[in-house]
Amino acid sequence: MAVRQIIRFPHPCLRQKAEPIVHIDDEVRVLATDLTETMHAAPGIGITAVHIGVLRRLVVIQLQGHAEPHISVNPEIVWSSPEMIRHMEGSVSMPGVNDEIERHARVRVRYRGLDDQEREEEAEDLMAVCFQHEIDQLDGIFWVDRLSKLKRDRLIKRFDKLQRTRP
């Protein structure tokens, strides 16, 4: 297992839709382990295969205080609450910048586990935000796309400046 290189914004992969995983095999399990290690090294609380340039629908989320990562193969939101919440978001592909995004307060997500069993669960608050954020990424929607044009342009300029000043 290995920490993989995270692609950086504005890499074109971050705007592409990931392909469904048809068979959950050892290759997918290794990818999930690599994603978990890469997310921890970043550090981050969520990552998709897209973040390492692999266009497959695989998500790893691990919130603080949770002993094990939540691994979702082909996740999809099947229901969203009408209530909305605002949360600071960022990305392992755009480190050093974040902004507040409005998302549904609760969602129900259907996915497959690494054991190939279909699951459905409801998530709220930060976990709901993470599911929406990572599933957006699988659909080629980078989190800054949820900002107004003005906020997005300012944030991208700030990120570009950060990238120029880093060794």
Identify whether 118 is a catalytic site residue: no
- Of the listed 37, 89, 102, 134, which one is catalytic? 134
Pairing of strands 118-124, 84-89: unpaired
Q: What is the DSSP letter of 49?
A: G
Q: Retrieve residue 16's tokens.
A: 């592409």
- 68: Cα within 13 Å, side-chain hemisphere: 4
**Bridge partners of 112?**
73, 118
- Positions annotated as catalytic residues are 134
